[in-house]
Amino acid sequence: MKRAIFIIVFLFCGFVSEAQKMQLGKVTVAELGQKTHQIDTSAAAAVLFSKAKTTFKIDREHHFKAVHEYNVKIKIYKKEGLGQANQEIAYYIGYKQLKPEQLRVEDAATYNLVGGQVKRTKVSSSEVFKEKVNESWKTATVVFPDVKIGSIIEFKYTVTSENIHAFPNFRFQRSIPVDYAEYVSEIPVNYQYKILTNGLFPIQSKVDTKSGSQSFENKYGQTNSLQYTLKVVTLSASELPALKSEDYVDNVDNYRASVDHELELIQFPDAPVRNFSQTWESLTQTIYKDEDFGAQIKKAEYFMDPLKRALAGTEPKAERMKKVFSLVQDRMSWNNRNGFYTADGVEKAWLNQTGNVAEINLMLVAMLNMAGVETYPVLISTIDHGVPAFPNQTSFNYVVACAIVDGRKVLMDASNKYTTPGIVPAKILNWSGRLVRQDGSSEEMSLTKPELSRRSYSLMGEVRPDGTVQGKTRVQMSELAGFEFRERFSGTNKESYAERLEQLYDNIEIDNYAVANENRSTDPVVETFDFTTAKHSEVIGGKLYIDPMLFFSMHANPFTTEERLMPVFFGYPRQSRYIIILKIPDGFAVESLPESVNITTGENVVSFRLACQTAGNSITISATYETGQMLVGSGFYPSIKGFFGEMVAKEKQKIVLKKA
C-alpha cells in the first residue's frame, strides 16, 4: 500500500471564516433544537467544535512554558450519547526533570432548551474530580449536570507544561462526528517544530507570522519585556466522520486524523543552532549519544565470562550467533515493558535476569558483536504503537537485534522465550524498522515480507456407510505459525488442549492427541491425533453427501459489511496446505465430486485452490489457501469479500457417494 495516504498534503487555501463564530458561550436556540446530526443521522452525539491553541509563556527563569488551551462544544442527540457528559482529561505529572503539568478547567456548562429559552447550568468545581492515577498521570473528570437528549455541553481547559519538546497529541477525529476541529500554534520563530499529521481525512493548513511580546517578572522582582516574532500555524478540518474500527484492522489510530508536534531546533541570533533530531542521521546520533542506548551497547565486562564459556570451541558465525542468542534468551525474562532505551541499564538487568526490551536486545547486540558477529540494533514501532512514518524518537517503541551472517540479515528478539533467530513476534512486524549504526548511518528494513508461514494438514480417513468419518490427522506448523502455537500452548495440559481443539473443529471427537517440538525449536511443531466425526456428512435418500474439507472447512465469510473505509490487515503471510485421503465404504461408488477450484483476488492478496480425484476406492482432496500480503488497501475490499464468499461456497460442494 502506498504510504502516501498517511502523509497529508498541506493545502494553502482559503480559511474557514466561521472560526469567528466558534466561541464558548454562544449557544443558540436553533442548535439546542436540532434533533439529529445533519450528516450522520445515526450519531449519538457530535463535537460542534474542538479548538486547541498552543502558546508560549515565559517564566521567571527565562524559560518558555507551553500553554495548551482547548475549547470544546458537544451536542447530545441520543441516549447513547450521554456518556459524553463525563469528560476525562489526562495530564502528565511523571517528568524526571520538569515540573508536573498543571490543569485548569473553566467555563464548563450545560445548555438546555427550557420553554424556548436557552438555560445555562454551570459546572461547579465540586463536579470536577481530580485523581492521581499513578506516578505518571493525573486525570480530571468533568461531570456535566442536567444533561439530557438535546443538551449542549461546553468547556475550556488549559494544560501548562514545561515540556516544549513535544506537544500533546491532538485528535481531530473522534468516535463521534466532529463538525469542526482546529489546532493553532503561536510559537516564537526561534523554536521550530515538526508537524506530524496522520489519518485518512485531509487536514488543511495555513501559516502566518505576527509579532508578539511578553512582560514577565524576573527573579529580582523587576518587570522585563521581550519582543519576538511568532509563527502562527493553523491546522483545521471540517465535517469529520466518526472514527469506528472495522474488522481486520491493524491499529485504528493509524487512520485517525490527528497531529503531533515535535521540537526540531532552537535558533537564537548569535547562538549556535540547537538541533533536535530531524533527519535519520541526527536521530541515530542522538540515540547513540544517549546514556541509555549507545553506552549500553559498549558495556561488555559483565558478560565476558559467560560469553566465553558459551562460545568455547564454536567457530562458524551462524553457530556463534545461535549460542549467544540462547545465552541471552535463557537468562533474561522480559518485564513486559517496551522501549528502545534501557531503564535500569544492561548490567543491572543482567544481574536481575529481567529487563525491558532495550535491556535484553541491546545486551544481545553487544554480545554478538563481541562474539565477532556483526550486529546492529533495529528500531521498531509495534503494531499497537502505530506507523513509524517520520524520523523522530516517539515514532519507535521497541528495539531488536539484526545480525549480518554470510551476507544475510537475521532479525532477533531475545525478550520472548519462544523466538528463534529469524523469527520475531508478529506484533512487531509493522511497516519497517530502522537499522541504526554508531556512525550515524542507518537504513530502512522492511518488516512486511517475513518468510511465508506454513501449516500443512494431512488426513487419512475412512468413510463408514452411516456417514461417520474416522481417521488420523497430522498438522505441521512452521515459522511464525509454529512460534504462535508455542507461545500460546507450550506446556499446557494436552487433555485440555485436545478438548479445545475438538471445539474448534466443529466438535469432532479427538483421541491420542500428541505434539512434537512444542518447546523452542527451529523445527516445525507437529500435532497428530485420531478423529471421529459424524458431523461432516449427510445420509439422504440412501446417498452419502460428504464435505470435502471436513472439519477444515471455513463456514462463514469473515467479511460481512458492505462498506469498507480502512485497509484490510491480514497479519503475517501464511499458507495452509491440505491433503485429505478418504477411503469410501464397500458397496458405495462415487456419484460426483466437487469441481476443481482456483480462485484468487489478484496481486497475490489471497488465493485458494481445491481439487478432488478418485483412485480406486479412495478420494484425494488437495487444497491450498494462501495470503501473501499483510496490509492491503480498502480498494481491494470488494474482491476480498467476493473471494471469501466464493471460497465458502466452494468448500460446501459435496462429495456424493451412491450405492454401487
Partner 1 sequence: MDMKSLLLLCIAFFSLQLNAQKLEYASALIPKELTDNANAVVRYNEENYTVNSQNSLSAKVTTVITILNEYGLRNLNTQLYYSPTTRISRVEARVYDKMGYQLKVFKKKDFRDVSLADGFSVFNDDRMLYLDYTPIAYPFTFVMESEYHTSNTAQMPRWSALSGYFVSTEKDVVRISYPDGLGFGFKEVNFDPKFDIARQQETGTLTYTARNIAALKREEGSPEFHKMSPMVCFRLDKFSLEGVDGHASDWKEFGKWYHDRLLSGTDELPEETQAKVRELIGQEKDPIKIARKLYQYVQDRTRYVSIQVGIGGYKPMKAADVDRLGYGDCKALSNYMRALLAVADIPSYFTLVYAGDDSRRGLMRDFVSPQGNHAILAMPNGDDYIWLECTSQVNPFGFQGMFTDGREVLVIKPEGGEITKTRTFAEQHNSRLASGNFAIAEDSGITGAVVTRSKGAAYDAVYRNERLSPKDKEKFYKNSYANISNLKLDKIEFRNDREKVEFTEAIQLSAPAYGNVSTGRIMFAVNALNPYSETPKRYRNRQNPFEVERGFFEQDEIAISIPDGFAVEALPSDASLKTKFGEYECKIVKQDDKNILYKRTFLMKDGSYSSAEYDEYRQFCEQVARFDSAKAVIYKKG
Would you count residue 611 as binding partner 1 (CB under 8 A)? no
Q: CA 432 to CA 391: how far, in whole Å?
A: 12
The gap from C-alpha 179 to its chain's centroid, in whole angstroms, comes to 27
* Least distance CB 306 / partner 1 (angstroms): 15
* Least distance CB 490 / partner 1 (angstroms): 9
Interface mask toward partner 1 for 311-350; x: CB under 8 A: ----------------------xxxx--------------
Of 380 and 593, nearer to partner 1 (C-beta) is 593
* Least distance CB 488 / partner 1 (angstroms): 11
Interface mask toward partner 1 for 564-593; x: CB under 8 A: ---------------------------xx-
* Least distance CB 40 / partner 1 (angstroms): 9
* Least distance CB 332 / partner 1 (angstroms): 8
Phi, psi of 596 (to 5 degrees): -70, 150
Would you count residue 119 as binding partner 1 (CB under 8 A)? no
Would you count residue 133 as binding partner 1 (CB under 8 A)? yes
Interface mask toward partner 1 for 144-163; x: CB under 8 A: -xxxxx--------------
Q: Are strands 102-114 and 117-122 parallel, antiparallel or unpaired?
A: antiparallel
Which residue in 102, 94, 114, 219 sits closest to 159, CA to CA?
Answer: 102
Q: Which stretch binds partner 1 (CB under 8 A): 142-150, 185-193, 401-409, 460-468?
A: 142-150
Would you count residue 492 as binding partner 1 (CB under 8 A)? yes
Residues 499-528 close enough to bind partner 1 by CB under 8 A? 499-500, 502-503, 507, 509
Paired residues of 538 in beta bridges? 545
Would you count residue 541 as binding partner 1 (CB under 8 A)? yes
Q: CA 374 to CA 409: how far, in whole Å?
A: 10
Q: Are strands 178-188 and 45-58 parallel, antiparallel or unpaired?
A: parallel
Q: CA 126 to CA 123: how far, in whole Å?
A: 8
* Signed CA dihedral, 266, 272, 276, 277: sign only: positive
Among 10, 24, 53, 78, binds partner 1 (CB under 8 A): 78
Would you count residue 608 as binding partner 1 (CB under 8 A)? no
Paired residues of 146 in beta bridges? none
Provide the CB-side half-sphere exposure for 76 (13 A, CA).
23
Would you count residue 659 as binding partner 1 (CB under 8 A)? no
Q: Which stretch binds partner 1 (CB under 8 A): 45-53, 75-83, 427-435, 436-444?
A: 75-83
Would you count residue 609 as binding partner 1 (CB under 8 A)? no
Q: CB within 8 A of 192, min separation 6: which ones?
A: 263, 264, 265, 266, 267
Q: Is 133 exposed, middle or buried (0-12, 13-18, 19+ CB in 10 A)?
A: exposed
Of 158 and 592, nearer to partner 1 (C-beta) is 592
Calculate ∠ Cα 329-331-337, nearest 5°. Answer: 70
Of 26 and 132, nearer to partner 1 (C-beta) is 132
Phi, psi of 401 (to 5 degrees): -105, 145
Phi, psi of 235 (to 5 degrees): -110, 135
Q: Which stretch binds partner 1 (CB under 8 A): 126-134, 154-162, 294-302, 575-583?
A: 126-134
Among 2, 220, 555, 616, binds partner 1 (CB under 8 A): 555
* Least distance CB 161 / partner 1 (angstroms): 21
Q: Which stretch binds partner 1 (CB under 8 A): 72-80, 251-259, 262-270, 622-630?
A: 72-80
Among 354, 395, 430, 634, binds partner 1 (CB under 8 A): 354
Q: CB within 8 A of 396, min separation 6: which ones?
A: 340, 379, 380, 381, 385, 388, 434
**Rounded alpha-carbon distances, angstroms, from residue 495 to 481, 498, 502:** 21, 5, 11
Q: CA 248 to CA 273: how far, in whole Å?
A: 46
Locus of grid cell 444533561: 147
Would you count residue 545 as binding partner 1 (CB under 8 A)? yes
Of 184 and 508, nearer to partner 1 (C-beta) is 508
Interface mask toward partner 1 for 238-257; x: CB under 8 A: ------x-------------
Of 182 and 246, nearer to partner 1 (C-beta) is 246
Would you count residue 627 as binding partner 1 (CB under 8 A)? no
Q: CA 110 to CA 146: how far, in whole Å?
A: 7
**Rounded alpha-carbon distances, angstroms, from residue 303 to 317, 331, 429:** 19, 11, 30
**Rounded alpha-carbon distances, angstroms, from residue 178 to 37, 72, 169, 205:** 10, 11, 17, 17
Phi, psi of 92 (to 5 degrees): -90, 130
Among 62, 132, 449, 659, binds partner 1 (CB under 8 A): 132
Residues in contact with partner 1 by the rule CB under 8 A? 42, 78-80, 82, 85-86, 88, 127, 129, 131-135, 141, 143, 145-149, 244, 333-336, 352-354, 491-493, 495, 498-500, 502-503, 507, 509, 534-535, 538, 540-541, 545, 555-557, 560-563, 591-592, 594, 645, 648-649, 652-654, 656
